Amino acid sequence: MRIMVMDGQGGGVGRSLLEALKERFPEAELIAVGTNATATANMMKSGVTSGATGENAVVYNSKRADVIVGPVGIVMADAMLGEITPTMAAAVASNDAKLILIPMSKCHATIVGVESRRLGEYIAEAVDEIAENCF
C-alpha cells in the first residue's frame, strides 16, 4: 500500500498524519509530498524515507499512490495562500487513489455539516478511515 501525504505551508498537518500512519501501518510505503521545501522538510522529520517537493512531485506521486491524505485544500486551486496550483489540484482530484481529506478552517471554503473538532481528532479519524476502507 502506497500512501501519499500532501501538505503545504509549514507541513505540520502532514507531519502529524505521517507520524500516525507510520505507527498504525508500519508496512505501508509512506511518501511525504510538500508544496514547498519547508513543508517537505518538516514532514520528513516524522521518520519517513521518501519525500519530494513541488508541482511535478505532486503530479508524479498522485498517479502512483493508492491513498492520498492531506488538508482539504489540496484539491482546491489557489488554496493554502496560493500554494496549490491548478495542476496540483487536478492531479490530486483526478486519479484513482482514495482521497482522505482533513477539513481545515484556513481554506477559502467551508464544508457544511462538518463539526468543529481538534486537528488531532481529524487525524485519528483519517487513519481509522484508511484502516477500514483501504487495507
Report how far residue 72's alpha carbon sits from residue 114's, in angstroms, rounded to the nearest whole number: 12
Domains of the chain, earliest start first:
2-133 (3.40.50.1950)
User: In the chain, what is the greatest distance between 2 CA atoms, to the nearest angstrom?
Assistant: 37
- pTM for this predicted structure: 0.92
Amino acid identity of residue 85, one-letter, is T
Residue 106's pLDDT is what? 62
CA dihedral in degrees (86, 70, 105, 24; nearest 10)?
180
DSSP output for 49-91: SEEEESHHHHHHHHHH-SEEEEEGGGGSTTHHHHTS-HHHHHH
pLDDT tens string, the chain, 135 residues long: the values are 999 999 999 999 999 999 999 999 999 999 999 999 999 999 999 999 899 999 999 999 999 999 999 999 999 999 998 999 999 999 999 999 999 999 876 666 777 888 888 889 999 999 999 999 887
Residue 134's pLDDT is what? 81
Residue at grid coordinates 482514495:
98
